[in-house]
Chain A
Amino acid sequence: LAKTTQPISMDSYEGQEVNITCSHNNIATNDYITWYQQFPSQGPRFIIQGYKTKVTNEVASLFIPADRKSSTLSLPRVSLSDTAVYYCLVGLTTDSWGKLQFGAGTQVVVTP
């Protein structure tokens, strides 16, 4: 399994862009990279998924360099409601089909 490493916490002000980088040095060829958001006492919620280059949806962008050993989740113009824990997940490999390993997560705190 590809082990992931993320910063423990990040602080930001409202309206700023937040970028969270996840390291996954031993990512496998078939692995996708997925990010989840979790609020206290709730289950994680899917944000975005990608395989290479850049993926963008209505809430975030995901940047993946050519070597795929890291990925960066970008949250544009954050608001107070973006305060949450963000998890990077690398999985879907032929060696561990179904076995998923979340990182410890990054606590993002947005202040006014």
Chain B
Amino acid sequence: EAQVTQNPRYLITVTGKKLTVTCSQNMNHEYMSWYRQDPGLGLRQIYYSMNVEVTDKGDVPEGYKVSRKEKRNFPLILESPSPNQTSLYFCASSFPPGGELFFGEGSRLTVL
């Protein structure tokens, strides 16, 4: 089954404790991206990747890092989480970049 898998689905953490949200897709898509969703603000792109080792900033990259060492994986790293990063996060992939985006089920992160 074609899918995008995110982990963890839910996480409560404390300020400053580094965390990683993993994202994996099994569709051999070159394009992957991360979004955060906050009430009233819709989906905002954090980072995207056109292919392995090719990443770039979206609209809200501050406080986040990403890496793309393998085609299927695109982890989102919060080096020092802060409460304003409490949000619902979605990973998505597609081929090509403007084609149909396949989203993961989301990761709800709470930073205390």
Chain B binds chain A: yes
Could you list which residues of chain A lie within 8 angstroms of chain B, going by C-beta atoms? 32, 34, 36, 41-46, 49, 87, 91-92, 97-105
- CA distance in complex: A41, B50 (Å): 27
Q: With both chains docked as a complex, state the minimum distance between the C-beta of A108 and any C-beta of chain B, in angstroms.
A: 14
Asked if B56 lies at the interface with its beta carbon under 8 angstroms from chain A, I say: yes
A13–B98 alpha-carbon span in the complex (Å): 33
Given contacts A45-B103, A99-B45, 7 further A-B contacts (CB under 8 A): A43-B105, A44-B92, A44-B101, A49-B99, A49-B100, A92-B97, A98-B49
User: What is the interface of chain B, defined by CB distance below 8 A to chain A?
Assistant: 4, 31, 33, 35, 40-45, 48-50, 56, 58-59, 90, 92, 96-106
Instruction: Find chain A residues with CB under 8 A from B100 CB.
Output: 34, 46, 49
Q: List 23 A-B contacts (CB under 8 A).
A: A36-B101, A41-B106, A43-B4, A43-B90, A44-B43, A44-B90, A46-B101, A49-B100, A91-B98, A92-B96, A92-B97, A98-B56, A99-B56, A100-B33, A100-B101, A101-B45, A102-B35, A102-B42, A102-B44, A103-B42, A104-B40, A104-B42, A105-B43
Q: How many pairs of A and B residues are in contact by the CB < 8 Å rule?
A: 66
Contact A98 B33 (CB under 8 A): yes
When chains A and B are docked, how far (Å) is the Cα of A32 from the Cα of B35?
20
| B57: nearest chain-A partner, CB-CB | A99
| Bound Cα distance from A107 to B43, whole angstroms | 14
Residue of A nearest to B50 (CB): A98
A102:B43 contact, CB within 8 angstroms: yes
